[in-house]
Amino acid sequence: MIIAMVCVVGIALIVLLVRSRIAPTYPLTAHDIPEVISQLQQSSKDGHFAVFMFVPPGSTDGEAVNLQYSIEGGIVGLDWVLRGPRNIADRAKVTEFASKLGYRLDEHEMNGVRYLRLTGNGISELGAKIIQDFYRIGPDTKLDLITEGFKWQPY
């Protein structure tokens, strides 16, 4: 009996530990990007980030797109991280799309991960256009958001 109780308590502790390490997701739309950027900027620490995740309509592989905003060198920027299969596959198309809109994505690498980055004016607009125009996600469609370094505060 004691062994069974110890096993149950052990399993419960493992479940709690795993759940505590899973980043919470928040349902947002592309319209929320400016507020996400504002809250991220207020956190003001390098390495903090927010990632919008969604599977494009008509996707046959179910792979999610990850559109990230992060702080690097004290500056918030839009990152196209070249890690997930969808982001890698769509790299050239997204770069061309951004270029046609007058934006230049610069390639960077950190901790062995390559990514394209845009800073300055237009990071909010480009992110919204990638979501809505490039991937044809409706303006009211809920996307998953995860954050690191700050907790999303609905406005």
Domain-located, residue 114? yes
- Predicted pLDDT of residue 1: 52
Count how many domains the chain has: 1
In terms of residue numbers, what domain contains 126?
Answer: 24-148
Domain-located, residue 69? yes
In whole angstroms, give the CA distance from residue 107 to residue 130.
18
pLDDT tens digit string along 63-113? 999 999 999 999 999 999 999 999 999 999 999 999 999 999 999 999 999
Domain-located, residue 44? yes
Residue 75's CB is within 10 A of a number of other CB atoms, namely 13
Domain-located, residue 19? no
Higher pLDDT among residues 77 and 18, named by residue = 77
Q: Give the total residue count for the chain.
A: 155
Count Cα neighbours of 88 within 13 Å in the Cβ-side half-sphere. Answer: 7
Mean residue pLDDT of the chain comes to: 87
Q: Does residue 6 have a pLDDT over 50?
A: no
Label residue 117 by pLDDT band (50, 70, 90): very high
Domain-located, residue 95? yes
Label residue 2 by pLDDT band (50, 70, 90): low
- Predicted pLDDT of residue 93: 97
